[in-house]
Structure 1
Amino acid sequence: MSLITHPQARELTKSVRATVLVFKDPRSQELLNRIERLAPSEANALIMGETGTGKELVARHVHHLSRRHQAPFVAVNCGAFPESLVESELFGHEKGSFTGATSNKVGWFEAANGGTLFLDEIGDLPLSMQVKLLRVLQEREVVRLGSRTPIPIDVRVVAATNVNLADAVVAGNFREDLFYRLHVATIRLPPLRERPGDILPLAEFFVNEHCQRLGYQRASLSAEAERKLLMHNWPGNIRELENAIHHALLVCRHQLVQPSDLQLAEMRSSSASPRLDTPVQAIGAAQEVSLEAALNALYERNLPDLYEHIEEVLFRTAYRFCHGNQLQTGRLLGISRNIVRARLEKIGEL
């Protein structure tokens, strides 16, 4: 069984990223074969998969298997910066190019020169920056903000996304020419629910790992706990599995994890979908009545911090409806991506 771990796994305990990948399931073994075939090339790569499936781990493995493995691997989250700072972060800036630019700064492309630049959440990149990124990929040079002098670069770009970029192109949220420039070597990471053969090997790895971190004696999973793990849908993928094992080890007795020790969240819709033959006006009216009734029920319970509770539910459900895309969540709610990110960090979604 092949295994890939993140070099800073123990620093990512509060992250939604996966910290380990195993390749036991047949689908995972096919994935590993594809990675090993594509990695030695110099082609840009696009990794697609849900949050928590291990996209950064795959990007690091692609880098490790390439001729660039002794050069830098630089990971950048495209959704982590305010739109006004994206250009400076990616391409660098010159002293005095804007207020607060007190010195020259090397951008991420220059920092990764000779190696691999991993652009996570590429779908969150503003359209204005997509144009400039496309030019960099075509010309193999960057121009720092506030400068007119191009700087040659030798960088392999590996991008990742948890949204369907083809749909984003159709919706006008992602440039078609950039999509095809990145869509050369594609790697699709199946969610954990589609590779059940990896669930128990991953669980066993996390049991051993967290026993060591916590200073516990070696623990194990009961047969019933293993069955519960195999039956779960894993919407949060590998990171959800790790968190479930971590919690179970904290509460289990006699170093044996039982089904009751596993807290597994079920993400199911609480209301049925409307009939296709129901008039649109009737659907809208019914939904307004349903929302008003739900709010009235909350008012009657007289919950503390009710506004914060409603806001938290609103942002969490919108974020999941948009499959973890902050930009689309902002457009859905009619607010900026920066506000979305701040709220998601506040409620623990990031």
Structure 2
Amino acid sequence: MAAFDMPLDQLERYAPDLAEPADFDRFWTSTLTAAAGPLVLDIRPEPNDLALLDCWDVTFGGFGGQPVRAWYTRPAGRPGPLPGIVEFAGYGRGRGLPHERLTWPAAGYAHLLLDNRGQGDLYGCGGDTPDPPSGAAMGGPGVATRGLLSPDDYYYRRLITDAFRAVMALRELPDVDPARIAVIGNSQGGGLALAVAGLIPDLSAVLVSSPFLCHIQRAVSLTDLSPYGEIATYLSVHRDAEPAVWNTLSYVDAVHFARRANAPAHFGIGLRDTVCPPSTGFAAYNHYAAADKTMHTYPYNGHEHGDAVHTRSQLRWLNPRLRPT
């Protein structure tokens, strides 16, 4: 795919004035307050057939106290407390198998991989967390349109709450230093990382690549690919729902969370990304409130951005900020 969005010099200045709900902070404060309750519900060792890493199957209380699964993996035999990382997976992916995501524990971090509720059927090795019925009609082929007519019913209200609670749960797990916690995600995971950065003021670092949920209305206007294409498809059938849809999405747009974030941030974007258009990720980056932030762009890459080259950049950037021992 050829470059289709703004040229880089315009992207670097692109900071659109997005309308924010007047009750945005109140909405999320009440949502997270309602989710208060026991965090770690169950933790048990999980065989992973690996000699150098230990793993546990963790269940914690997410949105509405509903059980959410995660893998907790850390270097075997390394004394704690260790700095921790919560990783959020991409759209359609579950937590998979315990040996799938090993970069961060192999680098010396205590690593919690969140399972995406109600996802896991598009690629990878599946998920283990259901999304109990909320009473809202699902609509569309995927979770991007589930409960789309109301901020209270919308799927991403639940998933963002799970992501917030995952950070709190990691802080309670054995051998974790609760004062040294970072969040990381690609695509949907990048949007979740930005949301959490705006909701938790004392994170140590945020790593975001090809983020979903940013400047959503523009994204829907630029691409027909999933997940944004699912929203356009929904509106092609529910023609009178547009005002309600944009209102709902304004409560989960990561640009609003970015304005509230103060943790150091590392971004990566492929300038030929037709899944999450570059300008939408730059909108979040340019509004990101912390002064300590860096952007890495890949002019000839799409949604995969810099791939392993970018991971190396993340590792080198994060180490001095969390300093694993």
> TM-score under structure 2 normalisation?
0.24
More strand by share: 2
More helix by share: 1
Give the number of the structure whose alpha-carbon radius of gyration is greater.
1
> TM-score under structure 1 normalisation?
0.23
